[in-house]
């Protein structure tokens, strides 16, 4: 038996079905182990394309994959839909939010990240985030609903419905801004004949000096140039101080009336309570080079929630999909070797950066590989191809390709459904005014 201590017939519980959790479960489908995958959603979500759900380019089912469908032919893998509230390491047990226990021989935590509002309760209550499929649908609903509301709004209230503020100039914020800009230019004017779309403002706020701040100087410059060509208002060295659902206040003192603020400015690890403080660093679990949590033999952490110090990354790896996938592959290989009583390879895990990419709009993208940097149309085609190849099923690949091809040639999309709005949360002022006191205007 190797130092992992995993033997045939053991029960391995994986918490989280994101890139890391799903990759590990798939790697162990033929192992002589009992695998339990636990997630609060019943499906895997392809997060890089959330912004296309939010902008009405793709339907949610295109990038969502039910776990029970994925593993229907894997008899050793079972799924539990639950949100985990705590870990009891002494009892080898995790507890769900409904106080139901799940026992394990080995536990793998791959819970990923949640939106980080940096302790600002007002922002968390009033801003949209985009970390789940449901979040993306909610954004699509509210953006489309805003234009319906603009038609009936009093003249002095119309601009608030037409200002869309996006906070955070990383890949998510940049891609979402570009998608809304194309929606504003090519799609919505066909539907709303009485709205002046020149007054629709898409405002991107970024706290640093550049958009795509983690990429090269060429990509930073190109991304901003593309956004401004698409009429996105880019405000760098600008942060959101407060937002009450009606008015966004920036650190520059500027006040923007808006009903729509989307927060894409930061993430933090989803930590499950139950482990000691020394095992957590910067809201991530401290792990060794085999992803085993510090001072515990049978609990591991993968991906965004793992804090691994290596010579190349002395402050931990970046919280990106490639790290999660490759850590899961490495752990999967080690587990399989453990079952075969083989020794570990001497090479410990290290992340080798394969590059970064972001798309801003049609024929506008930036791609960085270790050996080359590309921008423009070629980068855009590369971005589409690589993301299409990462989609799990052939059917979904075809559906997404068809939707992209349709949008490419027609500059249109048919996915503009408002499926649900919580009208109780829609702030409408002066709702109790009598009919006689309403200002008369033509809708």
The pLDDT of residue 259: 96
Mean pLDDT of the chain: 90
DSSP lists the bridge partners of residue 372 as 369
pLDDT over threshold 80, residue 141: yes
Rounded mean pLDDT, 125-133: 94
Residues 26-41 have a mean pLDDT of 96
Q: In the Cβ-directed half-sphere of 144, how many Cα atoms lie within 13 Å? A: 21
Residues 240-273 have pLDDT tens digits of: 999 999 999 999 999 999 999 999 998 999 999 9
Q: Higher-confidence residue: 327 or 430?
A: 327
Q: Which two tokens stand for residue 205?
A: 């706020």
Residue 409, pLDDT above cutoff 90: no
Give me the domains of the chain, ranges plus CATH numbers: 11-115+268-339 (3.50.50.60), 121-265+355-412 (3.50.50.100)
Average pLDDT on 344-372 reads 87
- Cβ atoms 307, 284 nearer than 8 A: yes
The predicted model gives 41-70 an average pLDDT of: 94
Predicted TM-score (pTM) of this structure:
0.90
pLDDT of residue 112: 94
CA distance 43 to 39: 8
Judged on CB neighbours under 10 Å (0-12, 13-18, 19+), 38 is buried
DSSP letter for each residue of 189-247: HHH-TT--GGG-EEEEEESSSSSSTTS-HHHHHHHHHHHHHTT-EEEES--EEEE-SSE
Cα 193 from chain centre: 33
pLDDT tens-digit readout, 191-226: 999 899 999 999 999 999 999 999 999 999 999 999
Asked if residue 4 has pLDDT above 90, the reply is no
- Quote the pLDDT of residue 229: 97
- 8 Å CB contact between 366 and 222: yes
**What's the mean pLDDT in 235-243?**
97
Would you state the pLDDT for residue 415?
Answer: 72
pLDDT at residue 285 in the model = 97
Per DSSP, 384 falls in state H
The pLDDT, as a whole number, for residue 146 is: 95
Mean pLDDT of the 39-45 span:
95
Give the model's pLDDT for residue 443.
Answer: 53
Q: What is the mean pLDDT of residues 68-97?
A: 96
Sheet holding 163-167, edge to edge: 233-236, 201-206, 163-167, 260-263
Q: What are phi and psi of 61, to 5 degrees?
A: -65, -20
pLDDT digits (tens, 9 = 90+) for 161-190: 999 999 999 999 999 999 999 999 999 999
Question: How high is the pLDDT of residue 429?
Answer: 40
How far apart CA 327 and CA 304 sit, in angstroms, is: 10
Select from 81, 80, 87, 75 the least CA-distant residue to 36: 80
Q: Which of 248, 247, 257, 206 is nearest to 227 (CA)?
A: 206
- 431 band by pLDDT with thresholds 50, 70 and 90: very low
Q: In the chain, what percentage of residues exceed pLDDT 70? A: 93
pLDDT at residue 408, rounded to an integer: 86
62-71, 247-256, 341-350, 384-393: which has the minimum mean pLDDT?
Answer: 341-350
More confident of the two residues 141 and 417: 141
> Rounded distance, CA 382 to CA 30, Å?
33
Report pLDDT for 422. 63
pLDDT of residue 417: 84
How far apart (Å, rounded) are the C-alpha atoms in residues 102 and 92?
9
Note the pLDDT tens digit of each residue in 303-347: 999 999 999 999 999 999 999 999 999 999 989 988 887 665 555
């Amino acid at each position: 038996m190797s130092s992992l201590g995993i033997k045939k017939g053991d029960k391995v519980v994986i918490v989280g079905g994101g890139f890391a959790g799903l990759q590990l479960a798939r790697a162990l489908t033929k192992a002589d182990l009992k695998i339990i995958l636990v997630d609060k959603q019943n499906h895997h979500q392809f997060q890089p394309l959330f912004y296309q759900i939010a902008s009405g380019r793709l339907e949610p089912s295109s990038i969502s994959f039910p776990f029970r469908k994925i593993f229907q032919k894997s008899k050793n893998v079972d799924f539990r839909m639950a949100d985990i509230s705590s870990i009891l390491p002494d009892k080898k047990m995790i507890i769900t939010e409904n106080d139901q226990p799940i026992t394990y021989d080995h536990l793998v935590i791959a819970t990923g990240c949640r939106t980080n509002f940096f302790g600002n309760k007002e922002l968390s209550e009033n801003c949209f985030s985009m970390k789940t499929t449901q979040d993306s649908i909610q954004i699509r609903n509210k953006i489309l609903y805003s234009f319906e509301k603009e038609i009936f709004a009093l003249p002095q209230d119309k601009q608030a419905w037409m200002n869309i503020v996006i906070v955070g100039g990383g890949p998510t914020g940049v891609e979402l801004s570009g998608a809304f800009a194309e929606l504003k230019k090519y799609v919505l004017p066909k539907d709303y004949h009485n709205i002046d779309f020149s007054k629709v403002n898409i405002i991107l706020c970024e706290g640093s000096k550049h958009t795509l701040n983690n990429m090269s100087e060429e990509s930073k410059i190109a991304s901003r140039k593309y956004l401004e060509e698409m009429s996105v208002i880019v405000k760098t060295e600008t942060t959101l101080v407060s937002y009450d659902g009606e008015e966004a206040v920036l650190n520059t003192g500027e006040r923007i009336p808006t009903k729509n603020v989307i927060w894409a400015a930061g993430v933090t690890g989803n930590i499950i309570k139950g482990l000691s403080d020394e095992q957590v660093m910067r809201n991530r679990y401290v792990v060794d080079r085999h992803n085993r949590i510090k001072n515990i033999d049978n609990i591991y952490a993968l991906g965004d929630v793992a804090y691994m110090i290596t010579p190349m990354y002395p402050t931990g790896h970046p919280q990106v999909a490639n790290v999660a996938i490759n850590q899961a592959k490495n752990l999967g290989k080690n587990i399989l070797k453990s079952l075969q009583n083989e020794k570990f390879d001497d090479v410990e895990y290290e992340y080798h950066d394969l590059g970064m990419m972001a798309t801003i709009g049609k024929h506008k993208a930036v791609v960085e590989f270790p050996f080359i940097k590309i921008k423009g149309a070629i980068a855009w085609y590369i971005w589409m191809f690589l993301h299409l190849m990462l989609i799990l099923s052939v059917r979904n690949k075809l559906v997404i390709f068809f939707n992209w091809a349709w949008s490419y040639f027609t500059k249109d999309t048919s996915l503009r459904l408002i499926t649900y709005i919580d009208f109780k949360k829609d702030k409408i002022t002066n709702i109790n005014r009598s009919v006689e006191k309403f200002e008369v205007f033509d809708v």
